[in-house]
Structure 1
Amino acid sequence: MYRGLRTYLIDYTGILVIGLVIYFMYFNEWLGDKWMTHLPNSFYQLNTIFLSILIEAIPFVLIGVFIAGFIQMFVTEKHIQRLIPKNKFMAVTMSCVVGGFFPACECGIVPIVRRLVAKGVPIYAAVGFLLTGPLINPIVILSTYMAFGNDIKMASLRMGAGFAAALLIALSISFFFQSNQLKQAQEAASGKQAAHKQKFIRRLEEMVKHSIDEFFDMGKYLIIGAFVAAFLQTYVAATSLFLFGDGLIASTFIMMGLAYLLSLCSEADAFIGASFRNLVPDTSILAFLVYGPMIDLKNTIMLLSVFKARFVVTLFIFITVIVFLCIILTSFI
């Protein structure tokens, strides 16, 4: 009965998600000519920003949910136990290095991390993977290099400061949390299925089913986060944030706040960050480039849907404080 109700809710949530996207992409334009002509221009700006965030994020979420489905059906707890070192520092270091080679955005990485944690990956190791995956993967570093006029300096600083911050954040988490921190206990229990005993074709079918469930589960939170981010971008002027000060510390905090609110895809945020070079120091732009991929508005909502609120709040605080300190330290280098 519970499984039937869950499937029913997932199906209708998926229909709602798809219907909302179709509305914004097509019917909004059609109805605008009929009876929505009196809507303010800001509504259409909101529509455009909302769609751009979704279009950026959805391909990476799709990649993420298929990888999560693969992990669910083809990776067992024994595989995890063999791969993850027992030593905390080594486990965190390995997860940060692996994440650095993984092309995912901050939204697409969430379903992968959830599945890894459910399979037995320690929460602190999962955090290292969660933070470095969207931040210093090859695509992000290449886009940063190009956005700053083929200058290797900013790309190198982003990679170095980002890796150091992720390592420190994951190690800090290891002292406060030992359990998996998933909201639902059945998530962890579901990882104990003997999937390896099933036939290969059957496992592929189950992988697709898990991927679809994961997509609709994550998709509704992605849409909520994208809409809130689009609303704030539309009705809160970015330049007004700089009224609070233009010193190094003030501008660094402001650029971190801006990265959080804009919720940009990490593969494209360097081009936006480069546009602020005439307004703020390079150190503050570096904060924008490091902080946004680690935590932003839309992926905070996604994290809250998966992990316990206390863990997400603690992670948010550690990311904010440690990234700020690491960025300020780089200004002396």
Structure 2
Amino acid sequence: MRRLFSSVLVDMTGIVVIGVAAYLIVFSQWFGALWAAEIPDSFRQFVTIFLSMVIEALPFVLIGVIVAGAIQIFVTEEHIRRWIPAHSFQAVAMGCVVGALFPACECGIVPIVRKLVGKGVPLGAAVGFLLTGPLINPIVILSTYMAFGNDAMIAGWRMGLGFAAALLIAWSISLFFSSNQLRRPVSLPVQRRKPQTSLFYRFEEMLKHSIDEFFDTGKYLMIGACVAAWMQTHVHTESLLLFGGNDAGEMLTMMGLAYFLSLCSEADAFIAASFRNIFSTSSILAFLIYGPMIDLKNTIMLFSVFRARFVVVLLMLVTAVVWLGVWAAKMTQGW
């Protein structure tokens, strides 16, 4: 009881501090005048980008941790064994298909994948879910279709090529790694009293796990958003054009831009559409596929959950497969 009271007290204190800070920033005229007079423009730009990233990602992280809590309490290892095919490639394909149907952000999907792997989902299937969830779910495809003037070509290539790339990457991961690669095992609920099976009790346990997961994941989201905001503030987009000059360089440039911008996949198509007069179609497609699969803040979150070697291999695989896949599409389509 004392431990629960301390945890609630710490959480409430954090909420109060955030609320006071938000009030000072939004409503306080004194703070606004001081902000305008004393703070450098570059720092204000940094804070604006940082807050926009956090505000944009938080709803998806909240959804992700609630789903993760539900998986922890309501999904057992026996369910996993019944639902996941025994054949590794079929398991990978199932993970990719489920991800494609599941609207998720690359931030909110990390705690879900962590719980799935901890429950016994094969690593390859979890990676397939991790890659396709933010990339080709229905919301992302619709936003891509609208961003490019109701042109189905880019949306279609993003969906088809992205799914094929995710399938190949996840299958490769299943061949390279036999264990789950988690940094630490997912903690199971500690029963301090007689186990209860009532729906209310299980819902209460789900919320407790969701809160723990939110604070565990949230700090890495903050760190990732902070680094990405600093990169956007101090590394100008024009400097990346120096690495272009040819099709291969332009594709790598746009992939690097997608990585460091760390945009939400529901909105990145509108940013990509603004580059149509500067970069080729293949480069824009590389931007649209690579960013949702792996970006800066997502990488930091992955390092907090999985072993460093696995994250590095995943990053290299995503980079190589996306670049080669888009290059092959360019050669066949003549972009």
Q: Aligned in 2, Cα 1:243/1:16: closer, same or farther, shift over 3 Å?
A: farther
Distance, in Å, in 1 between the alignment partners of 2:191 and 2:246 is: 53
Separation in structure 2 between the aligned mates of residue 149 and residue 96 of structure 1, nearest angstrom: 28
> Shift of the alpha carbon at 1:15?
5.4
Contact residue 69 and residue 210 of structure 2 kept, 8 A: yes
Deviation at 1:332, TM superposition (A): 1.9
Higher relative contact order (CA closer than 8 Å, sequence separation 6+): 1
1:166 aligns with 2:166: yes
| Equivalent residue, structure 2, for 1:134 | 134
Gaps of 5+ in 1: none
CA shift in 2, pair 1:10/1:34, >3 Å: closer
Deviation at 1:324, TM superposition (A): 0.7
* Distance (whole Å) between structure 1 residues aligned to residue 54 and residue 110 of structure 2: 16
Identify the residue that residue 221 of structure 1 maps to in structure 2.
Answer: 220
Residues 277/118 of structure 1: CA separation in 2 closer, same or farther (3 Å cut): same
Q: Specify the alignment match of 2:260 in structure 1.
A: 261
In structure 2, distance between residues paired with 1:267 and 1:157:
16
| 1:59-98 Cα deviation digits (max 9, x unpaired) | 1111111111111111110101001011111000011011
- Alignment of 1:235 with 2:234, yes or no, is yes
Note the aligned Cα RMSD (angstroms): 2.8
SS of the residue corresponding to residue 331 of structure 1 reads helix
When residues 123 and 230 of structure 1 are mapped into structure 2, their CA distance, relative to the original with a 3 A threshold, is: same
Gap change, CA 1:14 and 1:331, over 3 Å in 2: farther
Contact preservation (8 Å) 1:182, 1:306: yes
1:46 equivalent in structure 2: 46
Change (3 A) 1:189 1:220: same
Partner residue of 1:290?
289
Match of 2:300 in 1: 301
For structure 1, which segment, 106-115 or 34-43, has the greater mean C-alpha deviation from structure 2 after superposition?
A: 34-43
**Whole-angstrom CA distance in 2 between matches of 1:8 and 1:226:** 26
Deviations 1:203-261 (A, max 9, x none): 00111111111111111111111111111101110111101222110000000000000
User: Please, what TM-score do these two structures have when normalized by structure 1?
Assistant: 0.91
User: Structure 2 stretches of 5 or more lacking a match?
Assistant: none
Count of aligned residue pairs for this structure pair:
330
Match of 2:329 in 1: 330
Which residue of 2 is the match for residue 70 of structure 1?
A: 70
Distance of 2:129 and 2:190 partners within structure 1: 19
Q: Is the 8 A contact 1:101 1:137 kept in 2?
A: yes
Preserved CA contact (<8 Å) 1:61 1:108: yes
- TM-score for both structures, normalised by structure 2: 0.91
- In the TM superposition, what is the alpha-carbon distance from 1:114 to its structure 2 partner? 0.5
AA aligned to 2:322 is V
Name the CA shift for 1:56/1:71 in 2 (closer, same or farther; >3 Å).
same
Percent of pairs identical after alignment?
Answer: 63
Q: Does 1:178 align with 2:172?
A: no
2:125 match? 125
What is the Cα deviation at residue 37 of structure 1? Answer: 1.6
What is the CA-CA distance between 1:35 and the residue it aligns to?
Answer: 6.9
1:58: which partner in 2? 58
Letter in 1 for 2:43: F
Q: Which residue of 1 aligns with 2:101?
A: 101
Once residues 330 and 289 of structure 1 are traced to their aligned partners in structure 2, the CA distance between those partners, rounded to angstroms, is 14
* Aligned equivalents of 1:122, 1:13: Cα separation in 2: 39
Runs of 4+ in 1 over 4 A off after TM superposition: 6-17, 27-30, 188-193
Whole-Å separation in 2 of the counterparts to 1:163 and 1:57: 23
Matched residue, 2:206: 207
How far apart in 1 are the matches of 2:224 and 2:24? 15
For 2:222 and 2:14, locate their aligned partners in 1 and report how far apart those are by CA, in whole Å: 11
Query: 1:50–1:226: 8 Å Cα contact kept in structure 2?
Result: yes
Offset, 1:47:
1.3
State which drifts further: 214-223 or 151-160.
214-223
Structure 2 distance, partners of 1:134, 1:10, is 32
Inter-partner Cα distance in structure 1 for 2:304 and 2:7 = 18
The offset of 1:31, in angstroms, is 2.6
Distance 1:332 1:29, change over 3 A: farther
